[in-house]
A and B are shown apart, each in its own frame.
Chain A
Amino acid sequence: MAITFEKVNYEYDANSMWGQAALQGVNLHLESGVLAGIAGATGSGKSTLLQMFNGILKPTSGTVRVLDITLRGGEKAPKLHQLRKRVGLVFQFPEQQLFEDTVEKDLCFGPINFGCSMDEAKDRARSAMEKMGLDVSLLSRNPFQLSGGQMRKVAIASVLAMDPEILVLDEPTATLDPVSRAELIQLLHRLCREEGRTVIIVTHRMDELLPFANQWVILHEGRTVFQGTVKALIEQADQMEAYGIVIPQSIRYWRAISEKFGLSGEDPCLSAEAMSKRIAQLVNSEDV
């Protein structure tokens, strides 16, 4: 199990009279190697949850278990150095965290801080660039001269260079153009599928992640109101509106088709390609 939350509460300014509960009784179970999507309206606690994954925030009460490290509310936290090395967090607008004068130095910063030699750090930088589909010739460039999409990928590569087991990203695709968005999601999907990393993505655009994610978590007012597979999510889609989430188009269409053609037991096809293939099979089949 990569991440387990048991009855986790988190309050901002917990000790003052202005304490504000951001998470309430959150239970969460994410297996190693999943690609999980976290959705929820603005202010539902997504970013708070995210920051608990590597101990930036510690639970006010309840238990957070990430890999083999346990954080309990009210207890002194164990050393978090290892946790931070193994869980890579990519915040919104990660390009704002670039600071060095070459891409290579930026990518080496993390590994060196976690004790790598310069040579090893450079190797990691190179392989992280390749994983993100970036040309290694960019390593000598100034990161601030790259395009927005490239900067975003370099910033994610700088987290990958630390070789984390769990990669957590807060709206990685926001403000990218749709084609760059689709590319980035596919890259992240590949990291999960081919390297067995656990990838957790907070998103406002469920549509683009639906064909790839195998687990979904929905937050509403600081509580986990849904956790499960895409299939289960589709069954409960009607409730999404109550949680301030617009039902994605692909789910709407799939539901209509599966009702009409009696496919409710099937695994959903949520990309336009997969759905039309399934439709073509149905419509062109002789034996119905």
Chain B
Amino acid sequence: MFQRELIGPHYTSNAFEESVRNPSVNSSKCSPAIELVGVSYGYAKKDLPVINDITFSIPQGQWVALVGANGCGKSTLVKLMNALLPKGEGTIKVKGLELQSDTIGEIRKTIGMVFQNPDNQFIGATVEDDIVFGLEGQCLSIEVMEERVKSYAAKLGIADLLDKHPSELSGGQKQRVAIASILSMEPEVVIFDEASSMLDEKTRNDLLNILSDMHKSGRYTIISITHDAQEIAASERVLVLQEGKLIADRTPTELFQDEKILEMSHVIAPFAFQLTTELHKYGLDISIPNCEKELTEALWPLHLRK
């Protein structure tokens, strides 16, 4: 019956009230979703640490973008959070629970991960099998599993695809299936490891909408590793890694306006930010336009002034 409570459509607008009623979410509200203190990690002892003394905490419900150049340690860092890599130095707490060999099971239930290439996480022969695989691993009853498959397939718009073999799906559809498989296990923290980088522009926007909906529901803490300017702009907070060190922790707008950090993080700002920065060099100061109309409206009076 406890499971029943969880089944509702969680990322609709009333989902947050539901999670308040839910005792398991409520009890852990006081501690941050993820807390890292002095975390370091190296793949081999002689090598330099890939992750170097990182400390931060992420409150429940926050949407964090993790950015940095190729090879700066982003993936390593998130893999440490759910023990896909052996423990290094420092402490990692997930919902107040310290990550240790006896808590790995509990913590992995809390964290769901979506990877770059959905092909790498397909297991089932059909979409439905694939979603069910994770649920079976959680030893749920058949009724609960059916209910979850139905509700999450509907939410991600893949209800028509349940009987298909993964090879019949397009890249964007596969990524939706991967997300449905993860969300149906009802994790509280969802990590997207460059989940959008293989998708085309249109499917990338679809994924962004899914992330926004998830965020609005207030039910998920989201960590997304990304290079995509739009995805960064939609998040609440950006953590910048460089050579395994945390070099900046700020809002997307602050990041996009700081050319030095942008360069270090290998991020390129959205076009509107780039344009505003460039215009500033010509002595034209306008606020960052949200669309092209705002730009021309801001420029026109400057033009008429002459």
Q: Which residues of A contact B (CB under 8 A)?
A: 41-43, 147-149, 174-180, 182, 204-207, 244-246, 249-250, 252-253, 255-257, 259-261, 272-273, 275-277, 279-280, 282-286, 288
CA distance A178 to B299 in the complex (A): 29
Q: Are A272 and B296 in contact (CB under 8 A)?
A: no
Most chain A CB within 10 A, of B200, B267, B270, is at: B200
Which residues in chain B, 251-306, are within 8 Å of chain A measured between CB atoms?
263, 266-268, 270-272, 274-275, 277-279, 281-284, 291-293, 295-296, 299-300, 302-303, 306
**In the complex, which residues of chain B have a beta carbon less than 8 angstroms from the beta carbon of A257?**
292, 295-296, 299
Distance to closest chain A CB from B206 (angstroms): 11
B267: min CB distance to chain A, Å: 6
Give complex CA distance A259, B199 in Å. Answer: 32
Report how far A82 CA is from B71 CA in the complex, Å: 39
Other contacts beyond A260-B300, A280-B282: 14, CB < 8 A: A42-B200, A147-B70, A148-B70, A174-B197, A174-B198, A179-B268, A245-B202, A255-B292, A259-B296, A273-B278, A276-B275, A276-B282, A280-B283, A283-B299
Check if B116 sits within 8 Å of A204, measured CB to CB. Answer: no
Q: Is the CB of B303 within 8 A of A288?
A: yes
Give the complex CA separation of A207 and B283 in angstroms. 26
Given A246-B202, A253-B295, the answer on whether A272 and B71 have CB atoms closer than 8 Å is no
The size of the chain B interface, using a CB distance under 8 A, is 45
Q: Which residues does chain B contribute within 8 Å of A277, judged by CB atoms?
A: 278, 282
- Choose among A147, A204, A273 the residue that contacts B71 (Cβ–Cβ < 8 A): A147
Q: Which residues of B contact A246 (CB under 8 A)?
A: 201-202, 205
Interfacial residues, chain B to chain A (CB-CB below 8 A): 68-71, 116, 170-172, 194, 197-203, 205, 227, 229, 263, 266-268, 270-272, 274-275, 277-279, 281-284, 291-293, 295-296, 299-300, 302-303, 306
For the complex, give the distance between the alpha carbons of A250 and B281 in Å: 19
Residue of A nearest to B301 (CB): A283
Decide yes or no: A178 and B227 within 8 Å by CB, A252-B292, A253-B271, A279-B299 being known contacts: yes
Which of A175, A182, A249 makes the CB contact (< 8 A) with B116? A175
Contacts of B275 in A (CB 8 A): 253, 272, 275-276
Residue of B nearest to A275 (CB): B275
In this complex, what residue of B is CB-closest to A270?
B271
Once the chains bind, are B282 and A177 in contact (CB under 8 Å)?
no
Q: Is the CB of B284 within 8 A of A148?
A: no
Cross-chain contact A42 with B268 (CB below 8 angstroms): no
Question: What residues of A have a CB within 8 angstroms of the CB of B282 in the complex?
Answer: 276-277, 279-280, 284
Alpha-carbon distance between A286 and B306 when the two chains are bound, in angstroms: 6
Q: Judge whether A283 and B284 touch: CB under 8 Å.
A: yes
Contacts of B205 in A (CB 8 A): 246
Are A256 and B71 closer than 8 Å at their CB atoms? no
Q: Knowing A147-B71, A204-B201, say if A283 contacts B292 (CB, 8 Å).
A: no
**A279 B279 Cβ-Cβ under 8 A:** yes
Q: Which residue of chain B is the closest to A260 with respect to CB atoms?
A: B296
Do the beta carbons of B170 and A43 come within 8 Å of each other? yes
| Residue picked from A205, A276, A284, most chain B C-beta under 10 Å | A276
